[in-house]
């Protein structure tokens, strides 16, 4: 979401076009009267994460040779916050983003594992003044300070 941005500082008369692969937009402009392509720069950020796992089968004293021997769960929290000097250039609306996630896995045998993951992505507005003129998407028709995205994922993992 916050991968790269077009650094248009110092450009005048800008125009945009889609890149060859359609993954981003290229900005053209004039710098001191010379036609120039705006460089795409990465958004610098700081953040971190923590993940903790629990071997549920061992905690509940399951029989190691029985069907309930393969249960594990993981809890995860991570956040990132774009540097203010970059965020002002590509999105004055977005502030800090974080992710809460929980994962439950069942190992059927040494080759097949089933996993269910629930996650909540959250993005916060940079400040309250942006709510008045098109900040983050409205929540139930009301200007919001946070945007939420709930994700559910089921996976079958094959190990060879």
- How do residues 47-66 score in pLDDT, each as one tens digit? 899 999 999 998 998 888 88
In a 3-state reduction of DSSP, which class is residue 44? coil
What are residue 114's DSSP bridge partners? 106, 156
**What pLDDT is stored for residue 133 in this prediction?**
45
- How do residues 92-137 score in pLDDT, each as one tens digit? 566 678 999 999 999 998 899 999 999 998 887 766 555 554 556 6
What are residue 106's DSSP bridge partners? 71, 114
Residue 43 above 70 pLDDT? yes
Task: Give the angle subtended at the CA of 117 by the CAs of 112 and 119, to the nearest 5°.
Answer: 160
- How do residues 66-93 score in pLDDT, each as one tens digit? 888 889 999 999 998 877 666 666 665 6
């Amino acid at each position: 979401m916050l991968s790269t941005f077009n650094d248009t500082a110092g450009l005048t008369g800008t125009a945009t076009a889609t890149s060859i692969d359609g993954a981003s937009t290229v900005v053209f402009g004039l710098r001191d009267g010379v036609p120039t392509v705006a460089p795409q720069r990465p958004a610098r950020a700081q953040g971190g994460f923590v993940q903790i796992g629990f071997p549920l089968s061992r905690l509940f004293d399951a029989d190691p040779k029985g069907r309930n021997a393969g249960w594990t769960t993981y809890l995860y929290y991570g956040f990132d916050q774009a540097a203010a000097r970059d965020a002002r250039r590509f999105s004055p609306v977005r502030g800090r983003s974080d992710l809460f996630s929980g994962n439950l896995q069942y190992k059927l045998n040494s080759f097949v594992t089933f996993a269910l993951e629930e996650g909540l992505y959250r993005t916060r507005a940079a400040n309250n003044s942006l709510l008045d003129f098109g900040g983050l998407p409205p929540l139930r028709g009301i200007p919001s300070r946070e945007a939420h995205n709930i994700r559910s994922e089921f996976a079958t993992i094959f190990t060879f």
